[in-house]
Amino acid sequence: MNFNQSVKVKLTDFGEQILRSRHEEWNLHYLERGAKDIGPYLSKADPEGYTSFLIWELIQKFGPYMSLAKPEPFKGEMIFLKGDPIEQPII
């Protein structure tokens, strides 16, 4: 397995909430330093409801929230995509 490989998962409401909160924290960080507003959080889900991540990025963003008795940030199968990694900004 290559941690730069792309996967896609179906985020739960909790998973979307994690990404939204993270986006808002980064936006505040930028605004406090005089940068422009990065805009509202927009879901990156495809028409089938899957959101793509590099494996390392999925671990970084959701790892701290994954434990027994905690809500799941994503459900179902993790689909491993073949080919080149999907380009996504790191936020």
Instruction: Read off the amino acid at residue 43.
Output: S
Rounded to 5°, angle at Cα 54 from 23 and 18: 30
pLDDT value, residue 43: 94
Q: What is the pTM of this model?
A: 0.82
* Cα Rg of the chain (Å, integer): 14
Burial class (CB in 10 A: 0-12, 13-18, 19+), 21: exposed
Is 91 within 8 Å of 35 (Cβ atoms)? no
Determine the straight-line distance between the first and last CA of the chain, rounded to whole angstroms: 24
Sequential pLDDT tens for the chain (91 residues): 789 999 999 999 999 999 999 999 999 999 999 999 999 999 999 999 999 999 999 999 999 999 999 999 999 888 888 755 555 555 5
